[in-house]
Amino acid sequence: MSAVVSAADVRRSRVRLFIVTMLFLVTTVNYADRATLSIAGPALSRELHLDPVAMGYIFSAFGWSYVIAQVPGGWLLDRYGSRLVYAFSIMVWSIFTMMQGWVGFFSAGTAIIVLFGLRFLVGIAEAPSFPANARIVAAWFPGNERGTASAFFNSGQYFATVIFAPLMGWIAHAYGWRSCSS
């Protein structure tokens, strides 16, 4: 094995490092967005007088749509490419997450429906994210580096919990639950 590394290999390595870092950051934001309702939920349910059953439906809306949209999200990625689908996905899920902060303007019954709908839409919008990560890793990393690259971007979900859960908890406490969602 040669100790000489070509300039092309170094450039490829830097690009791959950039790509996996971007996947890590997007995954971190993805999981931070998912956690907003968990952090804001107790204050939101108190203010809007939502019972645990209503909160259960609201919390489950994301999971239902995420499961339903995984395969169509993968198809969209194959059809239109990771760059376009992922960019659109990030913008859409961010808008729907931000809109959750506005449910306080509705009565309890309407707030439940609106919040359920928004969580459902966040799940649909986020569904392509992990298939996109896998597709990007498969395209940019040789087989002997894919496990490490996948582990790196997957760690973003736990990094988000470590960083954003306490931060959003403080924001919700200091500024109210709406600040956490918008």
Q: Would you state the pLDDT for residue 37?
A: 79
Residues 87-105 pLDDT 10s? 999 999 989 988 988 887 8
Contacts 24+ apart (CB under 8 A), 90-96: 90/26, 90/29, 92/121, 92/125, 93/30, 93/33, 93/122, 93/125, 93/126, 94/33, 96/121, 96/122, 96/125
Residues 4-23 pLDDT 10s? 444 445 456 888 999 999 99
Let me know if 2 is exposed, middle or buried by CB neighbors in 10 A (0-12, 13-18, 19+). Answer: exposed
- As a whole number, mean pLDDT of residues 160-167 equals 90
Q: Would you state the pLDDT for residue 32?
A: 85
Instruction: Provide the 10 A C-beta neighbour count for residue 151.
Output: 10
Q: Would you state the pLDDT for residue 6?
A: 46
Residues 38-62 pLDDT 10s? 888 888 888 888 889 988 998 899 9
